[in-house]
Amino acid sequence: MLGRPRDIDLDKRLLAAGWSLLQSEGYAALTLTTVASRAVAHRTDVYRRWRTKARLVVDVLDSHLPPISEVDTGELGSDLRAILADFAASWSSSWIDGLVGLTADLQRDPDAELAFRAMAERRGTPLHNAIVRAVSRGEIAENPNISLVADAIEGPLMHRRMIGRQPLTPEYLDAIALVAYRALTTAAVTP
């Protein structure tokens, strides 16, 4: 006989409590016990689901970060700008200050690190698809290193928010989209 089925409502409450704490108190102050308290649950409810804070936070981020839209405007530049807006929504959230603490904990928690990488890959899928479509339309002459392109597009957002402590303005996003577009299409095949 299998155990009790998971209580989906309890899972949602715990993830919502984690998200609320992450945004209001930050990563350093978040504990599995405080999540249980905020969700009006037992500590064992949290510990049964997540062995570590890092693993909980990865699941919290996976369920609460704004989605990255799968857009197809028919033109790479417009697709990049739309995707950048979604990335910016994530990087502009108040949870971002806790990212340094999370990444430090990921080094000690291989399961959480794998889950974080899987989440990041899923969130990068729309950008990957936009580049593949641009190659098939002939906007880009050859298949670029998509991982490098993704790093070059999202990296400035991370740097501006975490290091520069500056907002991600529409003008800044436009500039990144233009630089990325020009870099990707300089060797484009012309009909």
Whether 183 has a pLDDT exceeding 70, the answer reads: yes
Whether 61 has a pLDDT exceeding 80, the answer reads: yes
Same-domain pairing of 159 and 123: yes
Asked if 59 and 46 count as a contact pair (C-beta separation under 8 A), the reply is no
Q: Tell me how far apart the alpha carbons of residues 79 and 62 are, in angstroms, rounded to a whole number.
A: 23
Question: Which pLDDT band holds residue 127 (cuts at 50, 70, 90)?
Answer: very high
Same-domain pairing of 150 and 86: yes
Same-domain pairing of 111 and 68: yes
pLDDT for 4 equals: 59
Whether 110 has a pLDDT exceeding 90, the answer reads: yes
Same-domain pairing of 70 and 104: yes
CATH of residue 26's domain is 1.10.10.60
Same-domain pairing of 39 and 119: no
CATH of residue 158's domain is 1.10.357.10
Rounded alpha-carbon distances, angstroms, from residue 102 to 57, 64, 73, 97, 115:
8, 16, 35, 10, 12
Domain containing residue 21: 8-60
Confirm whether 2 is domain-assigned: no
Confirm whether 3 is domain-assigned: no
27 burial level (CB within 10 Å; 0-12, 13-18, 19+): buried
Mean pLDDT of the region 98-117 = 93
Ranking 74-83, 119-128, 142-151 by mean pLDDT, the lowest is 142-151
Residue 32 tokens read as 């599995």
Last residue of a domain, one of 20, 37, 60: 60
Mean pLDDT of the region 104-126 = 95
Confirm whether 191 is domain-assigned: no
Asked if 68 and 87 count as a contact pair (C-beta separation under 8 A), the reply is yes
Same-domain pairing of 77 and 26: no
Same-domain pairing of 117 and 39: no
Mean pLDDT of the region 4-30 = 91
Average pLDDT over the chain reads 91
Whether 188 has a pLDDT exceeding 80, the answer reads: no
Whether 189 has a pLDDT exceeding 90, the answer reads: no
Same-domain pairing of 131 and 146: yes
Same-domain pairing of 132 and 71: yes
**Would you say how long the chain is, in residues?**
191
Rounded percentage of the chain residues whose pLDDT exceeds 70: 95
Question: Which pLDDT band holds residue 80 (cuts at 50, 70, 90)?
Answer: very high
Last residue of a domain, one of 60, 78, 104: 60
Confirm whether 146 is domain-assigned: yes
Confirm whether 49 is domain-assigned: yes
Q: Which long-range contacts (CB under 8 A, 24 or more apart) does 144-148 make?
A: 144/184
Domain count, the chain: 2
